[in-house]
Amino acid sequence: MASISLQEHGACRRVYPSPPMSHLLIVWFWLADKYVRVARAKPSDFAKSIHHMSRFGIMCVLIQSLAGCASISVPQGLAASSPVFDPLIFFAGRTEGRGNLRKILSSPTPVIVHGSGSVDQSGTLVLEQEVLEGEKPLRKRSWHIRLIGQNIYAGSLSDASGPVKISVEGNRMHISFTMDGGFPVDQYIFLAADGRSAKNIMLVHKLGIRVAVLDEKIIKISE
């Protein structure tokens, strides 16, 4: 259950269409021709034209990068009525997650998460995790999750700046919280039919823009 690229699936639906770079280049060249004509008529405006063209070129790259993150959504074919996801059972014992994290303007980064969980006397799941993200140093984090209603859980995360909200519907668990730095996170974990593996998809936003996506497979290693 990583707190941080979605790059598949045929079952994924696009939230925002990704504009092909070829279309952006066509617009860029059209503007370039327009600015050259203006520069010939008014040589004093030539520098301003080049400045505008450069800004538009940078904008094209940024739009394409943003679209690469925003164009992926949660796969629709993974949800099922059973088995019902119980995080206090699935994350008790040892778990391992492996996936890829994609941030805007960055190449996909491998992520490995080792977890060790147990349920204390109060019925709270205490999950300790070690996270390896690419070449970054190992970091640790802690989850505390407890049942507060039918298929409703509450908890805390050492990486979060506020409470963690969790709801379960069939085999899908939805986790929402805000990471340190003001990044709202929505995490969708789908329990497989075997009850011992799960698909984790995490969407990270900033100012309403999706800035990172994580696609991870979690395996339950031991009870």
Per-residue pLDDT averaged across 27-55, rounded?
52
Do 183 and 167 form a contact (C-beta atoms < 8 A)? no
pLDDT, tens digit (0-9, with 9 covering 90-100), for 130-176: 999 999 999 999 999 999 999 999 999 999 999 999 999 999 999 99
Highest mean pLDDT among 35-49, 73-87, 135-149: 135-149
CA nearest 78: which of 162, 6, 179, 164?
Answer: 6
- Decide if pLDDT at 24 tops 60: no
Distance, in Å, from the CA atom of 204 to the CA atom of 179, rounded to the nearest integer, reads: 9
Predicted local confidence at residue 67, as pLDDT:
46
Predicted local confidence at residue 164, as pLDDT:
97
Q: Does domain 87-222 have CATH number 2.40.128.20?
A: yes
Helix, strand, coil percentages in the chain from 3-state DSSP, rounded to 5: 25, 45, 35
pLDDT band, very low/low/confident/very high, at 56 (cuts 50, 70, 90):
very low
Per-residue pLDDT averaged across 214-218, rounded?
96
Predicted local confidence at residue 78, as pLDDT:
86
Per-residue pLDDT averaged across 120-132, rounded?
97
- Decide if pLDDT at 11 tops 60: no
Span of 53-57, 71-75, 150-154, 190-194 with lowest mean pLDDT: 53-57
pLDDT band, very low/low/confident/very high, at 194 (cuts 50, 70, 90):
very high
Per-residue pLDDT averaged across 93-99, rounded?
98
Burial class (CB in 10 A: 0-12, 13-18, 19+), 120: exposed
pLDDT band, very low/low/confident/very high, at 34 (cuts 50, 70, 90):
low
The dihedral built from the CA positions of residue 205, 162, 165 and 95, taken in this order, carries a sign that is positive
Predicted local confidence at residue 68, as pLDDT:
47
- Decide if pLDDT at 58 tops 50: no
Predicted local confidence at residue 74, as pLDDT:
64
Crossing angle between the packed helical segments 21-41 and 46-70, to the nearest 10 degrees: 170
Domain ranges of the chain: 21-70, 87-222
Do 127 and 145 form a contact (C-beta atoms < 8 A)? yes
Predicted local confidence at residue 33, as pLDDT:
58
